[in-house]
Amino acid sequence: MGAYVHLPYCPYKCHYCDFNAYRLPRAEGARAEMARAIAREIEAAPGKDRQGRIASIFFGGGTPSLFSPQEIARILAALRERYEVARGAEVTLECNPGTLDPASLQGLRAAGVNRLSIGAQSFSQETLRRLGRLHTPEETRQAVRMARAAGFANLSLDVIYGLPGETPEDALKSAQEALALGIEHLSAYALELEEKTLFGALAARGELPLPPEEEVVRAGDLIEGACAQAGLTRYEVSNFARPGRQSRHNMLYWLQGSYRGFGPGAHSHLFGRRFWNVSAPGEYLRRTAGGGEAVEGEETLSPQARMGEWVYLRLRLAEGFSLAAFARRFGRPLDAAYPGVREALLRDGLLARERGWVRPTPRGRWLLHRVAAPFLA
Ligand code: SF4
């Protein structure tokens, strides 16, 4: 199983972001208070949530690198105390350039963090400014250099493409700059507009100069080519890695493994049960301070929904899935569970014609929502 820890504070709010993230409160001690609350939540986790061995721990946010190594170590100690954490478990921390220095990186290494996921987003200063991000491309390069010097052998960078005013060549240049840093993993996401963000509002008023879809598709293809040249293979719609460096944590999500989430708004999927915590940090702190439950909601998926989700998540993976694996898992052939669906997708050129396997074509990958829709209906 995996553990996810949500640290919800950021130094600023980016114009495209609708994550459960908030500006760091001014009050002295806000981070320490959140770290203590999360450690308390871990310590209070009931026995039925602690049956698995943890193979991956992921600190996401927010900007977890705003927290001190001591605060991260406090949370890790609580996890190690209450759960069996596998030797060699992957421990990832998301961070933003400009929030790291050599001492904090060494502290994180000493605490047991062994992988960093760095939010570069772009290597164009002008694009970063448009995104509302307050760091520079040079701070990203510096973060990678400092992380290497501190002994991090497993680094991932995030970039976004399809950005306002960006050409496919600009997107390629950013990805090439990221790859030139010799990273093990790259996540390249096409910009998604979210309603409740500044970008969402600007787009609704027609004031966001977004590139046309063909250009976004071309940018994605150029990035894939640059990754291949650098020795990173696509293993998921938006993720590329050197051999053996795929994100263990994300693979756990895509393969429907079990994970327990801690912190405001964190979701859990444990042995078939799904539940999630209250999102607002203030309410989360209030509840956990009084020894109360942070969990706010729970759902159990119907067998049909679980089957649809299984198909959708595997369609995201480059390897897709075998018809035999589906039949083994659900006791009947795919074509019996979804009559006519595979044939129609093959006809439309959205699934590849490969004996015994189901995989989207490059076009199908772009239109994954269309490929997945009949399985999720
Ligand atoms: S740093 Fe990340 S989580 Fe924070 S506001 Fe920006 S995109 Fe959102």
**CB 13 near ligand 1, within 6 Å:** yes
Q: Which domains does the chain have, with CATH numbers?
A: 2-253 (3.20.20.70), 303-376 (1.10.10.920)
pLDDT tens-digit profile of 180-219? Answer: 999 999 999 999 999 999 999 999 999 999 999 899 999 9
How does residue 27 score in pLDDT terms, banded at 50, 70 and 90? confident
For ligand 1, say whether the CB of 160 is within 6 Å of any of its atoms. Answer: no
Among 8-22, 46-60, 140-154, 260-274, the range scoring the smallest mean pLDDT is: 46-60
Question: How far from 25 is each of 12, 22, 125, 277, CA to CA, in Å?
Answer: 11, 8, 27, 20
Closest residue by Cα to atom 7, ligand 1, is 17
Helices (H) and strands (E) in the chain — how many of each?
Answer: 16, 16
Q: What is the value of pTM for the model shown?
A: 0.94
pLDDT > 90? residue 25 = yes
Atom of ligand 1 nearest to the CA of 132: 6
Q: How far away, in angstroms, is 329 Cα from ligand 1 center?
A: 38
Instruction: Give the position, in ligand 1's atom list, of the atom nearest the Cα of 21.
Output: 3
State which of 13, 22, 158 you would mutate to test the pocket of ligand 1, scoring each by most atoms of that ligand within 8 A of its C-beta: 13
Compute the Cα dihedral for 228, 232, 237, 239 and give only its sign.
negative
Report the b/e string of 331-346 with b at 16+ CB within 10 A.
eeebeebbeebbeebe
Share of residues in the chain with pLDDT > 70 (%): 100
> Which residue out of 14, 99, 130 has the highest number of ligand 1 atoms within 8 Å of its CB and is therefore the one to mutate?
14
Q: Which amino acid is at 109?
A: R
